[in-house]
Amino acid sequence: MSASFEPRKKESAVDTVVNSIKKLILDKELKPGDKLPTEIEIATGLEVSRGSVREAMKILSAFGLIEVKVGSGTYISDRMNNKMADSFIFSFFATNPDMHQFVEFRKVMENDIMELILLHYDENEEERAELAQNVKELKSLKSSPDSTTDDFAKNDTEFHKLLGKASKNLLLERIYSCVIDFLNPSIKYIHSSENKGANSETAHSEMLEAIEKRDKEMAAKAVECASVSWANVMDR
């Protein structure tokens, strides 16, 4: 493969890896199905640690841009050209938005998702039950001394993916799921900063209550409060 990896200036190590691979894809030096160099080769070429390469691969994988095949290696995903949602997500990803843009985007999406959940209330009974169970599990995590940051982050991520599923809009569910996956590092950061999922319990309980009461105004307020809480933690 002729694609070259050279270090870039004024970026975090993880951003260097992500942006380098992104540029090679946009420039068509890397195409769907192409195999990436090894972790060591990328780390050496970009003058970053192997840990930074691994974190970058998690981000790229969350967006469906790469696929890890056990025993074979890491490849540029063949799915990029096959799904409209993937194309949209990649185009958005390629603009290199900052975290606050993602927070704003998430807020807009969650307002629309909540409206659709209420609109399809008679069709999403199963998803609503799963959301209620998720909130119960969060309360159990809060009461357990053995709960970890990863436990809270997993529960948080699952709640939001269930929201997308309950919207009954497959395109919106797919895009929202990918945004949540991309935000996973910040979700973990929030749960390492807050008091054992306290913010999440409040936000998720309010959103669930708004859904069960079929209250559009309450739903919008719950999304707004959750967004403010998120932004406040991220600004610390």
0.85 exceeded by the pTM? no
Structural domains of the chain, with CATH: 13-81 (1.10.10.10), 97-234 (1.20.120.530)
HEC secondary structure over 131-170? HHHHHHHHHHHHHCCCCCHHHHHHHHHHHHHHHHHHCCCH
Mean pLDDT of the region 68-95: 68
pLDDT for 82 equals 46
CA–CA dist 164, 98 (Å, integer): 23
Predicted confidence (pLDDT) per residue in 203-227, tens digit: 999 999 999 999 999 999 999 988 8
Mean pLDDT, rounded, of the chain = 84
State how far the Cα of 33 lies from the Cα of 79, in Å rounded to an integer.
Answer: 9
Could you read off the pLDDT of 72-85 as tens digits, one per residue?
Answer: 999 998 765 444 45
pLDDT of residue 1: 45
